[in-house]
Amino acid sequence: MSEKKLSFGIIGVGKMGSALAYALKDDFPLLLYDKFKIPDDLKSYERKLEEVLSESDIIILAVKPKDIYDVVSDVADLANSNYKLVVSSAAGIRSDFLRRYIKRWARIMPSLTISQKEGVVAILAGLQEDAKILENIFKNYSKTFVVKSDDEIDVFTATSASGPGYLSVIFEAFEDAIVRAGLPRDVAREVSAHTFLGIAKMIISGKVPSQIKEEVMTPGGTTAEAIVEINDVRKAIFFAVEKALTKSKLISADLSYTKK
């Protein structure tokens, strides 16, 4: 079946479920279910749980890790009887758990930036053909990486998926520093956004970060003076990624997610 003809059901329409919906809604039939509230601009896609399960070709479980057991229990019978692809985006929920309940399973680790058709999606699937289907779909919205293990997914969880949080803190500090230096807040935000965007484009074009740093940093100049003061940022990022990676592994080890 052509990927273009597939329909998506998303269960859990919080931050990540909404981001996935915004990316997919213009290109695929979309059905959404959340036991709480769906954003107003996605209300037209809302369906009952039974409709999502019966009418979707691919079912994405975009719920919090603590809710995954109950949701998998709800979808397993119908999904398995119709051999539907069930995809989890929950952090730390490993493939051995999914295999226990779902015949045709996959994991994805997207970033919230997928709503802007940017960022990264890591893909791990039980079947190679399912990994290819998901890759062909998500490559239209993010840079995709098909991986071979849960450990690799954990790394993407701690980096690309968590990265918008880390970089937002750095962005906010940069913006605040510009305001403190005397520019208005709206100007500071534009300056920050276009500075970050420009660096990203340079790196994507092939320049490495160290090369950009050296090109900007004249010996004895203003950038060289500033770099000395922000070296601790490197240590903070390393520590943040380590903490996130540890947390992802702790989630998978929690017995509450491996009920029998």
Question: What is the predicted pLDDT for the residue at 1?
Answer: 47
Integer Cα distance of 153 and 198 in angstroms: 28
- Say which residue the tokens 């100049």 belong to: 221
pLDDT exceeds cutoff 70 at 103: yes
Q: Judge residue 135's burial from the number of C-beta atoms within 10 Å of its C-beta, 0-12 exposed, 13-18 middle, 19 or more buried.
A: middle
Cα-based angle 235, 236, 242 (whole degrees, multiple of 5): 90
Exposure string for 90-129, b = 16+ CB within 10 A, e = fewer: bbbbbbebbeebbbbbbbbbbbbbbbeeebbbbbbbbeee
Statement: residue 260 has pLDDT above 60 = no
With a cut of 80, say whether residue 17 has pLDDT above it.
Answer: yes
| pLDDT single digits (tens) 176-187 | 999 999 999 999
Q: Is the pLDDT of residue 145 over 50?
A: yes
Structurally, at CATH architecture level, domain 163-229 sits in: Orthogonal Bundle (1.10)
- CATH code reported for the domain at 3-147: 3.40.50.720
- pLDDT for 257 equals 46
CA torsion through residues 223, 227, 228, 230, sign: positive
pLDDT tens-digit map of 153-172: 999 999 999 999 999 999 99
CA angle 48, 35, 110 (to 5 degrees): 95
Domain ranges in the chain with CATH number 3.40.50.720: 3-147
pLDDT value, residue 113: 98
Between the alpha carbon of residue 42 and those of residues 30, 39, 212, the distances in Å are 10, 5, 41
The model carries a pTM of: 0.91
Confidence check: pLDDT of 10 > 70: yes
Q: Looking at the predicted structure, is the pLDDT value of residue 122 above 70?
A: yes
Residue 110's pLDDT band, with cuts at 50, 70 and 90, is: very high
Give me 70's structure tokens: 């109950």
Query: Looking at residue 178, what is its pLDDT?
Result: 98
The pLDDT tens digits for 196-253 are 999 999 999 999 999 999 999 888 888 888 888 888 888 999 999 999 999 988 887 7
Residue ranges, comma separated, of all CATH 1.10.3730.10 domains in the chain are 163-229
Q: What is the pLDDT of residue 230?
A: 85
pLDDT of residue 255: 45
As a whole number of angstroms, the distance between CA 241 and CA 155 comes to 8
Average pLDDT over residues 139-148: 98
Distance of alpha carbon 39 from alpha carbon 202, whole angstroms: 35
Structure tokens at 183: 């520019």
Task: Report the share of the chain in percent with pLDDT over 90.
Answer: 85
